[in-house]
Structure 1
Amino acid sequence: MTPLPDRYCPTDGNRVPGDSLAWCCPSCRGPLDLDFAPTPAPLKSLTGRVNSLWRYAETLPLSSPSVSLGEGRTPLVELTDRVSAKLDYMMPTLSFKDRGAVMLAELAFRAGPRRVVADSSGNAGTAIAAYCARGRLPCTVYVPLGTSAKKLEQIEAHGARVEVVDGDREAAGAVARRAADEPDTFYASHVYNPYFLHGTKTYVHELWEDLGGRLPDVLVLPVGNGTLLLGAALAVAELYGAGLLDRRPALWAVQAAAVAPLARAWEEGAEELTGTTPVAPTHAEGIAIARPPRARQILRAVRDSGGTFLTVTEDQIRHAQLDLASRGLYVESTGVACWAAVREGALGNRSAVVPLCGAGLKSGLARA
């Protein structure tokens, strides 16, 4: 089996061996990146490969999966003559989080810890629980008070233990991190563990293949902890660096106006979060993150791409969800944020793809 690449802290350069259960930088306690620079395969060489995200094996830090559920290769459908939607809710657990969760579970499967822990507002926890079930790994998921009952039911159905934390998303994360410091524990963090980002980047590799070796002018991406956007940035860099793209798309990051710390920092021209972000209730619970640990990386990725930040109101979220439903696409309220941001003409003549990240059955319709 190929040795695992080292991880490193992007802030201070500390390195963590590839086979270590350490989940953060030993000095600053920040998230880690992966010392891994793959070269993607040319388009023509993908013909006949397995019909899942594992077809992009050259770009993945793990190969020959044991816990796969056939994730990836989701449909791309037109919404307008300039905008298409990638139906990433058509995954085994009904959200795009499967892309990263399979990588974390595969890594945990190989490490063989006493238990796996995760924290989530719902979809990531569901995905981790499902793939841990596939790998017969004991799993505990910490969720904030108020998490959708349907998502809790799905997590428990996969056999994971659910711990409801009396607090918000940050509080759930803090409890999970304390648990992660216990011996022989694997922290399946979709924020701190870089393997998750190397799973989500397959979203863009699929787009590139489906569009015949190109990408749209703009990739519109929802941002809470930024795992899909950072994965997209990785994929774009890989494809462009290999000479498989002639130009890089702009990354447009979308936040709910009710919880928009990154959009505010962007408006202020800051490279990091500034001050304390007020948090109001939002239907976009999956991106309601007040202090994303990878904030600096997210802001830099958007800036380097020539992109921007957009915010959407609760009314825009509700209307976008109903609009998609009228087109035959029933998507959860967080998952419609990107369509809400661009459906009224913000793109002009540019082409774009928006991800529909989670199925509507997970949380139902957004209500006024």
Structure 2
Amino acid sequence: MADTRMPTATYICPQDGSRAGSTTLTWCCPACGGPWDLDTGALPPVRLDSLGGRVNSLWRYEEALPLSGPAVSLGEGRTPLVPLTGQVSAKLDFLMPTLSFKDRGAVMLAELARRLSPDRVVADSSGNAGTAVAAYCARAGLPCTVYVPEGTSPKKTGQIRAHGARLVTVPGDREATAAAARAAAGAPGTFYASHVFNPYFLHGTKTYVYEIWEELGGTLPDAIAVPVGNGTLLLGAALATAELLAHGLIDRRPALIAVQAEAVSPLAAAFRAGAEELSGVPDRARPTLAEGIAIPRPPRARQILAAVRESGGTFLTVTEDQIRAAQEDLAARGFFVETTGVACWAAVGGVTDRSVVVPLCGAGLKTGLAP
């Protein structure tokens, strides 16, 4: 039976400590305008020997999730982990219901919205997050509007429309799109299904690591590589590894390898400069095949940089030619992955000195082959 209880976790601002109940529709910290984190209190451990016979979706890790008893699940999660080389394995998150890893977080946002019963749901996206939110809002019976930048792949906008969402195309880049959605999110009765500002999304993406941990028999690889734009998968991974370590379920945290396109790599530049936050970043992103991570000013930049450093990880960048070559190489191995989703393979495919897992996080059908 679907759970109808209101969420009990509390929003907390990582910058100034402001708090709000997570039943509020206030989508950012009212004091500083930054994104929320989530204070869930002490969550119980997920025991490996307790997982047999549980539901075959990410909801099997119910102890670690801030919501339970979902009504809007599409069976998301539990994607295969497949070796690519002797040291590098790929997690096939392009096999999710909407063909990208964003389903992990979108199901949490839609489930939260279902319980709050807003008049409308608003989202912004370069394509995949909007598609996922549209699909899960359709499942939940919630009216949804998705803002996308001009130039978004017609295959992605077609998916969004197919799920019944209203599509708004915004002139300009990803930053302009986010600004338009946030303006709309201020209307009364609006739930802003932001994969950047709402921390429930991060608690969905953390199941990516719980699945790797279960698949590897209660261990994790030496490193986990993730593509980073707004950093939602990386921050979810950091949450999961911290939880598993705190419960004594792993004995070390894997290094987090953050991958950016060389054309749009503000976080990599800040990391290499030893900075704790961004500075001197241009307002507009340069063109890149990795459109899903072309974010010049990620709102959680400080948290992303801190998470990579705390894990003993690093940032890597890849060129447009490397992205093209990686997409072709994966396709030759049987995996047709969109251009953003091949960035990690382009960065670490040749690693031989440690075990690494990379996400193949979006299907090639969403964008086609790189020109």
TM, length-normalised to structure 2: 0.97
* Corresponding position: 1:150 with 2:130: no
* Corresponding position: 1:82 with 2:90: no
Aligned to 1:325: 331
Q: How far apart are the structure 2 equivalents of 1:178 and 1:46?
A: 43
Aligned to 2:38: 34
1:258 to 248, 257, 263: 263
Give the drift of 1:75: 0.4
Give the drift of 1:4: 2.1
Q: How far apart are the structure 1 equivalents of 2:165 and 2:13?
A: 30
Equivalent residues of 2:326, 2:345 under 8 A apart: yes
Could you tell me which amino acid in structure 1 is paired with residue 241 of structure 2?
A: V
Equivalent residues of 1:331, 1:359 under 8 A apart: yes
Give the drift of 1:82: 0.4
Q: How far apart are the structure 2 equivalents of 1:291 and 1:209?
A: 34
Cα displacement string for residues 24-46 of structure 1 (whole angstroms, at most 9, x for unaligned residues): 00111100000014233211111
Number of residue pairs matched by the alignment: 365
Which 10-residue stretch deviates more, 297-306 or 33-42? 33-42
Aligned to 1:9: 13
Q: How far apart are the structure 2 equivalents of 1:361 and 1:194?
A: 29
* Corresponding position: 1:286 with 2:292: yes
Aligned to 1:357: 361
2:320 to 314, 320, 342: 314
Equivalent residues of 1:320, 1:339 under 8 A apart: yes
Cα displacement string for residues 5-52 of structure 1 (whole angstroms, at most 9, x for unaligned residues): 110100000001121111000111100000014233211111110000
Cα displacement string for residues 146-194 of structure 1 (whole angstroms, at most 9, x for unaligned residues): 1000000000000000000011000000010011111000000000000
Q: Show the 5 A alignment for 1:115-130.
A: 115-130=120-135
Aligned to 2:104: 99
Q: How far apart are the structure 1 equivalents of 2:49 and 2:10?
A: 31
Q: Show the 5 A alignment for 1:176-255.
A: 176-255=181-260
Equivalent residues of 2:173, 2:285 under 8 A apart: no
Aligned to 1:109: 114
Could you tell me which amino acid in structure 1 is paired with residue 270 of structure 2?
A: A
Could you tell me which amino acid in structure 2 is paired with residue 137 of structure 1?
A: L
Could you tell me which amino acid in structure 2 is paired with residue 286 of structure 1?
A: G
Equivalent residues of 2:225, 2:257 under 8 A apart: yes
1:89 is paired with a residue whose SS is helix
* Corresponding position: 1:68 with 2:58: no
Cα displacement string for residues 269-292 of structure 1 (whole angstroms, at most 9, x for unaligned residues): 100001124632111000000000
Cα displacement string for residues 95-133 of structure 1 (whole angstroms, at most 9, x for unaligned residues): 000000000000001100000000000000000000000
Q: How far apart are the structure 2 equivalents of 1:19 and 1:51?
A: 28
Give the drift of 1:2: 6.0
Equivalent residues of 1:76, 1:86 under 8 A apart: yes
1:283 is paired with a residue whose SS is coil
Equivalent residues of 1:24, 1:31 under 8 A apart: yes
Q: Percent identity?
A: 72
Q: How far apart are the structure 2 equivalents of 1:223 and 1:41?
A: 27
Q: How far apart are the structure 2 equivalents of 1:61 and 1:35?
A: 9
Aligned to 1:25: 29
Cα displacement string for residues 237-282 of structure 1 (whole angstroms, at most 9, x for unaligned residues): 0000000001110000000000000001011110000112463211
Could you tell me which amino acid in structure 2 is paired with residue 32 of structure 1?
A: W
TM, length-normalised to structure 1: 0.98
Equivalent residues of 1:39, 1:238 under 8 A apart: no
**Which structure 1 residue ranges, 4+ long, deviate > 3 Å from structure 2?**
none
Give the drift of 1:3: 4.1
Equivalent residues of 2:28, 2:35 under 8 A apart: yes
* Corresponding position: 1:340 with 2:357: no
Equivalent residues of 2:225, 2:256 under 8 A apart: yes
* Corresponding position: 1:164 with 2:169: yes
Could you tell me which amino acid in structure 1 is paired with residue 355 of structure 2?
A: S
Equivalent residues of 1:332, 1:360 under 8 A apart: yes
Equivalent residues of 2:86, 2:352 under 8 A apart: no
Could you tell me which amino acid in structure 2 is paired with residue 21 of structure 1?
A: L
